[in-house]
Structure 1
Amino acid sequence: MILASASPIGLLLGMAAALAYAIPALAAQTLGTVSARRVLLLAWGLHGLLLASSMLSEVPRFGFAPALSITVWLVLTAYVVESQLYPKLRARWALAGFGALAIVLALLFPGTPLPATSSPWLPLHWALGIAAYGMFAAAVAHGWLMTRAEAQMRHAAPGSDGGVPLLTLERLMFRFVGAGFVLLTLTLLAGALFGETLYGSSHTQWRWDHKRIFTTLSWLVFAALLLGRWLWGWRGRRAVRVLYVGAGLLLLGYVGSRFVLEVLLGRTT
């Protein structure tokens, strides 16, 4: 879904970013809050440079691992912004670990070359899909933070009073869900209405393949979540569980399908 490159510059940036992510992931307590935040910010910047260099490469590529890489970067972007507004937001070690893993996967599985016959609008279509992935991934991260904070409060765990309030986490989670739902809707509409323009004459009709089935199911789950929030006030663990189901289906929609094709079956289409 994104552009990837095996160039020497891309390899060096990838290794540097993965190493920078690994430091706060493995030694967050030793570094301390300020130092861990600075190293994570450095890793995020290197990760962004890696993605930018990949997009400007001569041979555009796409695949499940690059899609995961940019999704994690988008989540970290949201975290970098939010950490300025909510300094007590605690997720550095987990996000750093996911960042390192995503980059390593992207280096090992850079995806397949983008066909030269593809529409120039195809990158925009993919950008919408990737942005939807990022918004829902950010919502999942906030749902996890909310569940953890709730458990700490229930068991009176040390430090449970110093984090971001539950209502704030819940509000942020639903904002990301709403944004992701809009982007996912636009992605599905573009694929349904302009499939031939985007992918060629082989996509003149809607085909119920694994990607579309799982993506449509995830859209229905997210629609139910937003409707349940609006009509019946869904919140807390119920809302998080529904969010996890929708995110799991969405992950299977593209990343899961491409993983099976590229890694397990060794195919490109």
Structure 2
Amino acid sequence: MSSASLAVAAALLYFAASGIQLLHLRQKRPSVSRSVVGAGIVALLCHAVVVWDTVFTHPGLSLGVYKVPALIFLIMNVACFTALVSRPLQNLLIALFPLSGLALLVASFSPDTGSTETAMSGGLYVHIGSSLLAYAVLTLAAAQAAIVAVQDYQLRHHRTRGIVSMLPPLQSMESALFELLWVGVIMLTLAIASGMVYMNDMFAQHLVHKTVLTIVAWFLFSTLLWGHYQLGWRSQTAVRFTLGGFALLMLAFFGSKMVLELVLQRG
């Protein structure tokens, strides 16, 4: 089966699994059903094959703006499935799966816009890998923060029906959020440190805005973690810091890639 056909099959499976999970949410089922897990795993396997074919070219990596989201969503899906063993993140699948399907379709049917990275050192692979892991986990944290924001708002206004009644307790949701933030910040720290060591110049003209925005995002996330454990920050404060840091991180990564590849037409 061709890569394009696998992408379409994976997208359909993702859409179906998302619909089933949404139905279970409305029915207030606390756990993930076998049908969602089964469809998700098959879609994930197809997803991995498509990413291997479109991103891991021979030789090197094709990390164009249309290709890399499929890789990031693959990492996000693996991370989310892994965390589901012990954390209430199942409702993230409702949005995560359809977006994964769309990212796969875009990666499969869009042209290459970036250059292929070849002859990279092991340290540069560490930088790229930790960066992608950081983006993936912190994107999950941002999605979790959005749900926490809605849940906290509803509870503050004494609205206990609707979506609030379908979600795990707020404390559990916040605990999951901060665990994601911890993992994301550790990966982001490794990405920044490895970039400083193994890249020629992270403050070169075409990279300086990306580097500065990433460091500012790291400070926001780190400040939030410090404030949570030292000052008891939670709920809306955690949401604001998380979404603010996420916005800076996405602007640093995708904003710079879009300008370089689509506007300036440079890889």
TM-score class, shorter-chain normalisation, is 0.7 to 0.9
Structure 1 position 207, deviation (Å): 3.0
TM-score norm. by structure 1 comes to: 0.81
Is residue 64–residue 254 contact of structure 1 (8 Å, CA) maintained in 2?
Answer: no
Q: Which range moves more in the overlay, 78-87 or 68-77?
A: 78-87
After superposition, the CA RMSD in angstroms is 2.8
Distance across 2 between alignment mates of 1:26 and 1:184: 33
Structure 1 position 264, deviation (Å): 3.1
Distance across 1 between alignment mates of 2:87 and 2:94: 17
Distance across 2 between alignment mates of 1:126 and 1:162: 38
Distance across 2 between alignment mates of 1:111 and 1:229: 41
Is residue 18–residue 103 contact of structure 1 (8 Å, CA) maintained in 2?
Answer: yes
Q: Show CA shifts across 1:2-37 (max 9, x none).
A: xxxxxx833232222122223344676579974444
Is residue 125–residue 187 contact of structure 1 (8 Å, CA) maintained in 2?
Answer: yes
Please tell me whether residue 141 in structure 1 is matched to residue 143 in structure 2: yes
Q: Show CA shifts across 1:193-248 (max 9, x none).
A: 2223xxxxxx3x74362211211111111121112112211100111111000011
Counterpart residue identity of residue 186, structure 2: V
Please tell me whether residue 104 in structure 1 is matched to residue 105 in structure 2: yes
Give the % identical residues: 23
Is residue 44–residue 74 contact of structure 2 (8 Å, CA) maintained in 1?
Answer: yes
Find the counterpart in structure 2 of residue 16 from structure 1.
9
Identify unmatched segments of 5+ residues in structure 1. Answer: 1-7, 197-202
Q: Number of matched residues?
A: 254
Please tell me whether residue 73 in structure 1 is matched to residue 80 in structure 2: no
Q: Show CA shifts across 1:23-69 (max 9, x none).
A: 34467657997444432332223212323444653243112333322
- Decide whether aligned partners of structure 1 residues 142 and 235 sit closer, same or farther in structure 2, where only a CA change above 3 A counts: same
- Decide whether aligned partners of structure 1 residues 229 and 10 sit closer, same or farther in structure 2, where only a CA change above 3 A counts: same
Please tell me whether residue 174 in structure 1 is matched to residue 178 in structure 2: yes
Is residue 67–residue 255 contact of structure 1 (8 Å, CA) maintained in 2?
Answer: no
Find the counterpart in structure 2 of residue 207 from structure 1.
204
Counterpart residue identity of residue 140, structure 1: A
Structure 1 position 139, deviation (Å): 1.1
Please list, as runs of the form range in 1=range in 2, the aligned pairs for 1:174-253 lying within 5 A after superposition: 174-196=178-200, 203=201, 206-207=203-204, 209-253=208-252
Q: Which range moves more in the overlay, 105-114 or 221-230?
A: 105-114
Find the counterpart in structure 2 of residue 95 from structure 1.
96
Structure 1 position 94, deviation (Å): 1.1
- Decide whether aligned partners of structure 1 residues 120 and 83 sit closer, same or farther in structure 2, where only a CA change above 3 A counts: closer
4+ runs of 1 displaced by more than 6 Å?
30-33
Distance across 1 between alignment mates of 2:216 and 2:87: 34
Q: Which range moves more in the overlay, 154-163 or 165-174?
A: 154-163
1:158 to 146, 157, 162: 162
Structure 1 position 115, deviation (Å): 4.0
TM-score norm. by structure 2 comes to: 0.82
Distance across 2 between alignment mates of 1:173 and 1:87: 10
Q: Which range moves more in the overlay, 156-165 or 184-193?
A: 156-165
Counterpart residue identity of residue 228, structure 2: R
Identify unmatched segments of 5+ residues in structure 2. Answer: none
Is residue 21–residue 91 contact of structure 2 (8 Å, CA) maintained in 1?
Answer: no
Q: Show CA shifts across 1:76-100 (max 9, x none).
A: 2233234344578323321122112
| 3-state DSSP of counterpart to 1:267 | coil
- Decide whether aligned partners of structure 1 residues 53 and 158 sit closer, same or farther in structure 2, where only a CA change above 3 A counts: same
Find the counterpart in structure 1 of residue 261 from structure 2.
262
Distance across 1 between alignment mates of 2:217 and 2:88: 32
